Structure 1
C-alpha cells in the first residue's frame, strides 16, 4: 500500500539496520491497522480465537517491556472519497470487472471501511487503552496522523508499512515490527533518502501523482517509476508541483528540458556528416584508402587500411557530434511524449490529493494545542474481564502474562520517586538473580517475591477455540502470534518468586545498592574461582593423573620403553625356558644308556 510502482524497492538501498536497543525510551506512533492486518491474514486459516486481540496483546507488551518503547496507537478515521473510489477500483480490477461500471461514492456508495475489520481494530484499540497506552483517532488516514506527530516532534518514529507516510511528512519509519525476530529493524530516514536520491517531500508527492497511489491507483498511464524519477529530479522541490500544473494545462513552452549532453550541442542539425570508408570505417573514401592508408589506421609497409570490426564506432569529431545530436533529439522526443501523456489526463494533477498530503491537520486537536499523549497504568481487573470474555483466558494466566509490563512500570516509577512501593500491592523486589543474554544484549534476571503466598498459575485450557488436534498447528505458528517468554516461577526456602528479564540500566537506576551488591558478589565469586584453580594447579599431580595427562611426545617414548622392556622380559623367559628344557633333555639323554657313546661307557666301566 502507498505509492505504486514498487516504491519501497526504490528506497530499500537507503534503509538502516537498527539493533535491538534502537527503540529504548523512544516514543513511537503505531498504525494499528497495518500492525494487525498482515499477521491476521497469515493466520486466518488457523482455529485461533480472535487472533487480532492475541497479537495486539503480546506485541504491545513486547514493545513496551522487551524493547523499552513508549507506543502511541493511531486508528483510522473516515476515508476520503478519493480513497473510497480507489478501493472500489482496485476491487473491480482484481475481480476482472470493467472499470467503466465503476460506481461513484458521491452517488450512494458507502465510503466507510470494511465493517468486520473496523470492529477488529476497535477491539484492539479498547485493549491497548486498558493496557494504559494512549490511543488517538485520525480524521482520515492513520499514517497521516503518524507522520504529523513525527514531523512535529511528538514522537520519534512511526511503525507503518504504508509509504504514504513520507508524503505526509514523516521523518523516520520502521516498515515492519517483528518482536520474535533476531533480525535488525529496517528503518528509513527521510534525511538518508534526500542524501541518496536527492528527493524531498514534494518530489515524492510528484512521483505518487505520476505512478499512482492509494487515492489514484492509475496515475498517468504509460509512466513508470524510473521515468517519473528522472523527470522530478530535474526540478527543485519548490518548482516541481508548479511544473506539473503547467504541463497538465498544456503550457510546455517555458519548461526547460533536462538533457545530459554537451553544452555545445544546440537544437539545430550539426554539419553534414563526412563520408566514411566502407572498408575501415574512417573518414575518407574507399578509393583513396586503396592507394594510401588513412591516418587512423596503423599499418606496416603500406599494407593499406584494416577492415573494421563488427561493433566499430568511429571516434572522429563529426561522428561524435552526430551521436550527441541524436541523443538530444531522442530525449526531446521522450519529453514530448511525457508531456503529451500528462496533458491527456483529465484534471491532472489533482489538487485535492496534493492538499491532502500537505495538510497538517490530521487529528482532533488544534495546531496550537499539543495532542493528549499520556501513558498510564493498566486497568488489571477490567483487562482480566475483557480477555476472559473475548479470549476465554483465566485470570491467573492474564496476571502472569501482564507481570513483565507491571514490573517495567514499577522500575520506571522507582527511578523518579524514593517512596518504597510494592508491585501489584503484593510483590516486592528481592534481588538480581543473574545476567542473561538475549539477541546479543545483556539483561538482568530479577527475582520478585510474594511473601507467604505460593504463586501458582495454570495455562488456560480454553485460551482459544483450539481443539486437541490443532495444538501442533498452533505451536508451529507461535512466531506469527508474537508470543513471548512468560515469567518463570521459582520456589526457594518455602517462598515463591517470579523471574523476569529487565533492562540493566533501568534496574540500576531503580535499585543502585542492590545492583552494586550483585556485581560485588560476582567479583568475589570470580576471585574465589580463580584462586581455587591456581591452588589446584600448584598441587603435585598423582601418578595416575600424571600418566593420564602425558602429552603425545611423552606418551610414545614411554610406551616404547615399556614395550621394549616387556619384549626383553619375554625373550629372557623364553631363553630360560629353552635352557631348562635343554638341561632336562640332557638329563634324559644322560639317563638313557643306549644313547651314551661307547668310549664313555668303556671309561665308566673300567674306571
Structure 2
C-alpha cells in the first residue's frame, strides 16, 4: 500500500521503536481501514467477525494500557484516480492483459466493496458506543490522518500506507503490537530528511516515478534506486518543475544548473586541453628517460637512484589526472541523466497534474480548514455496547463487562484527577488501596484493589476468581505474556478477603497518583515499613550472641586480632581439657609435653590447627 518499489524498505533504517509511554496523554489518528484489513488477514478463520473483535480489544488497549486518545478516520468516496488504479490492480492480479481492457471513463468513481463497507460500518457503530471520535475523509483516510498530524490536531497517525508522508504526515506508526516491550514502530519525517535528504516534494516525485496507489505503473524502466538518485539531484522546490519540463520534452544538459550529491565539476570551464605525458615506470608526469637517473618530485627515495615502480592499483594524484577522473565521472552522470530523462519523456501525460494537486491539497476532511475538526471523547454506553457485542459476537454479557473494565477504570481515574468527587466505578466499586507494583514488559503498574460497595442487579461483573487469597505478597511482581494475535485486553481478577469482594486492575502509576495521592503515600509508607522489617528480621542470630562493648560495636577486627582472640579462646579450652585429663591420670607430664610440642610447630601449621 502506498508508494511502490518496496518504499518501506528504503525507510526502514530510519525507524524508531518506542515503548509504553510514547503515546501517553497524546492524540493519535487511526486509519480504520488499515486495522480492518490487518485483522482480517491475521485471524480470518480463527474468530467470529475479526474486524469487530480486534477493533474492540485494540481500542481498549490503546486507550487504557497506553493512555492514548485515539481519533478514528474513515475513508470517503474514492477518487477517480484511485478507482481506476484499483480496477487495473484487480485485472493485473487476475492475469488479464491490461492493454486489451476498455479504458475507464474519466471522472467516474467506483464505490468500495460492499462487504468491506459493511465491516467498516459495523466498526463505526462499535466505536461510537465506546465514545471514540470518528471523522470521515473526502477521499483517502491516510490523507486526513496526515493533515491532522501536519496541522497539530494529533501527535501521530497509525497507518501502513506510505502515502501518508506524501500528504504531509510528520510521525507515522506503521506497526502496533500491544503485547511486546516496544509496541510502536515509528517513522519521523525529520529522521528521513536527515538520513536521505528527502522532503515532502521529493517523496511525491519518487511516487510518480515508481508508482503509487493512484498510478500503479509509474515510469517504465525506473526503479526505486534510480528514482532516489534522480530526485536527490534537485532541490525540493525545483524537483516537480523539472519533472514537468522533462515530461514536456524540455531536456537540458543539466551540467550547468544541476546540484547532484557527488561533487562534479563544470565540463566547459575546467576540462584540460590535453593530458601531459606520464612516466610508464612510476606513473607520474614526465618522461621515463628523465626519471632514470633522478627521481621526480612525486617520488621520495633514500638515494638518487631514480623513481620507484608504481603498484598495480596506482592512481596518479596530479592535477591533470584528477581533472580527467572528474570529467569522466561527470560525463557518466550526464549520460545516466539523459537516459533517465528519455524514459520519463516516453511516458504519456507525465506527470499527472491532478495527482500532484491531490497530494498537495490542504484539506482532506468534511470540515473547513479555518474551523478545524470537532474532536471529543465521550463515556462508553455500556449496556448498549453489551447488547451490540452479544448480538454480533455471541459473547456472554459478563465477559463483555470484564473486558471493558480497564477502559472504565481509566476514565474513572482521569475524572477523579480533574474533578475529585465521591463516586463509584461502574456504580459498584470504590477505590480501596494499592496492593502491589507489577512490572510488565519493563514497565511498572499499580495493581489497584476496588472494594465492592453495593450489591448489583443483573449487570454484576463476574470475574474469574483468583487463587491468591493471601494479602501478604511481594511488593513487586514481574509478568510477561506471549504475543496474542487476538490482542485481547488483560482479564481483571477478583479476590475475597475478610468477607469483602475486591476487584483487581492494573493502572498507570502517574494516573493513580493524580487521582488518589493519599492512597499512594500510604502505600509508599507501607512498603518502606515492610522493607525495614525484612531487613531487621534477616539479621544473623550469631551476631546477637556475641557480647560487645559500646566502643567495639560495628567495628570489624583486623586479621591479627582475629587470630589472637581465636587462639586464646582455643588455648583456654585445651587447658581445661588437659586439666581434666591430668586429674584423671594423675600425671602432669602430658600437659608439659603437649605445650612444648605445640611451640615447636611452624606458625602456618598452628594456624591450621586452630581452625580445625
1:413 Cα offset (Å) = 0.8
Distance in 2 separating the partners of 1:184 and 1:408: 20
Distance in 2 separating the partners of 1:361 and 1:348: 25
Are residue 416 (structure 1) and residue 421 (structure 2) matched?
no
Task: Find 1:508's aligned residue among 502, 505, 513.
Answer: 513
Task: Tell me, yes or no, if the aligned pair for 2:80 and 2:107 is still in contact at 8 Å.
Answer: no
Which residue does the alignment assign to 2:36?
36
1:34 Cα offset (Å) = 1.1
Task: Tell me, yes or no, if the aligned pair for 1:453 and 1:495 is still in contact at 8 Å.
Answer: no
Task: Tell me, yes or no, if the aligned pair for 1:30 and 1:160 is still in contact at 8 Å.
Answer: yes
Task: Tell me, yes or no, if the aligned pair for 2:247 and 2:347 is still in contact at 8 Å.
Answer: yes
CA-to-aligned-CA distance 1:544-582 (integer Å, 9 cap, x gap): xxxxxxxxx99xx99xx9xxx9xxxxxxxxxxxxxxxxx
CA-to-aligned-CA distance 1:253-274 (integer Å, 9 cap, x gap): 3852335445464368632233
Which residue does the alignment assign to 1:9?
9
Are residue 351 (structure 1) and residue 353 (structure 2) matched?
yes
Which residue does the alignment assign to 2:23?
23
Which residue does the alignment assign to 2:258?
257
CA-to-aligned-CA distance 1:41-71 (integer Å, 9 cap, x gap): 1222x33211121111110110000000010
Over 3 Å counting, the alpha-carbon distance change for 1:384 and 1:300 in structure 2 is closer
Distance in 1 separating the partners of 2:107 and 2:358: 23
Distance in 2 separating the partners of 1:63 and 1:262: 51
Over 3 Å counting, the alpha-carbon distance change for 1:27 and 1:292 in structure 2 is closer
Over 3 Å counting, the alpha-carbon distance change for 1:300 and 1:433 in structure 2 is closer
Which residue does the alignment assign to 1:385?
387
Which residue does the alignment assign to 1:209?
208
CA-to-aligned-CA distance 1:399-449 (integer Å, 9 cap, x gap): 111111111111111112132111222222121111111222221111112
Task: Tell me, yes or no, if the aligned pair for 2:463 and 2:492 is still in contact at 8 Å.
Answer: no
Which residue does the alignment assign to 2:404?
402
Task: Tell me, yes or no, if the aligned pair for 1:24 and 1:67 is still in contact at 8 Å.
Answer: yes
Distance in 2 separating the partners of 1:102 and 1:522: 75
Which residue does the alignment assign to 1:82?
81
Matches within 5 A, 1:89-488: 89-106=88-105, 111-253=110-252, 256-259=257-260, 260-261=262-263, 263=265, 265-266=267-268, 270-276=272-278, 281-283=283-285, 308-451=310-453, 453=455, 457=462, 479-488=484-493
Task: Tell me, yes or no, if the aligned pair for 2:4 and 2:211 is still in contact at 8 Å.
Answer: yes
Distance in 2 separating the partners of 1:327 and 1:535: 80
The SS at the match of 1:175 is strand
Task: Tell me, yes or no, if the aligned pair for 2:420 and 2:515 is still in contact at 8 Å.
Answer: no
Which residue does the alignment assign to 1:494?
499
1:108 Cα offset (Å) = 11
1:318 Cα offset (Å) = 3.1
Over 3 Å counting, the alpha-carbon distance change for 1:104 and 1:497 in structure 2 is farther
User: Which is further off, 150-159 or 422-431?
Assistant: 422-431
Per the normalisation by structure 1, the TM-score is 0.80
The SS at the match of 2:350 is coil
Over 3 Å counting, the alpha-carbon distance change for 1:28 and 1:537 in structure 2 is farther
Task: Tell me, yes or no, if the aligned pair for 2:18 and 2:182 is still in contact at 8 Å.
Answer: no
Task: Tell me, yes or no, if the aligned pair for 2:264 and 2:329 is still in contact at 8 Å.
Answer: no
Gaps of 5+ in 2: 465-480, 547-561, 575-612
1:250 Cα offset (Å) = 1.7
1:114 Cα offset (Å) = 2.5
Task: Tell me, yes or no, if the aligned pair for 1:436 and 1:444 is still in contact at 8 Å.
Answer: yes
CA-to-aligned-CA distance 1:303-347 (integer Å, 9 cap, x gap): 776665443333343333222221111111111112222221111
Are residue 60 (structure 1) and residue 59 (structure 2) matched?
yes
Task: Find 1:525's aligned residue among 524, 527, 530.
Answer: 530
CA-to-aligned-CA distance 1:215-241 (integer Å, 9 cap, x gap): 111222222323322332333322222
1:280 Cα offset (Å) = 5.2
Gaps of 5+ in 1: 460-475, 542-552, 566-607
Over 3 Å counting, the alpha-carbon distance change for 1:437 and 1:277 in structure 2 is same
Over 3 Å counting, the alpha-carbon distance change for 1:210 and 1:301 in structure 2 is same
Distance in 2 separating the partners of 1:188 and 1:93: 31
The SS at the match of 1:481 is coil
Per the normalisation by structure 2, the TM-score is 0.79
Over 3 Å counting, the alpha-carbon distance change for 1:478 and 1:267 in structure 2 is same
Aligned alpha-carbon RMSD (Å)? 3.3
Over 3 Å counting, the alpha-carbon distance change for 1:536 and 1:485 in structure 2 is farther
Task: Tell me, yes or no, if the aligned pair for 2:4 and 2:210 is still in contact at 8 Å.
Answer: yes
CA-to-aligned-CA distance 1:429-477 (integer Å, 9 cap, x gap): 1211111112222211111122354966378xxxxxxxxxxxxxxxx99
Task: Tell me, yes or no, if the aligned pair for 2:80 and 2:108 is still in contact at 8 Å.
Answer: no
Task: Tell me, yes or no, if the aligned pair for 1:261 and 1:328 is still in contact at 8 Å.
Answer: no
Q: Which one has more relative contact order, counting CA pairs under 8 Å at least 6 apart?
A: 1
1:302 Cα offset (Å) = 8.2
Task: Tell me, yes or no, if the aligned pair for 2:137 and 2:366 is still in contact at 8 Å.
Answer: yes
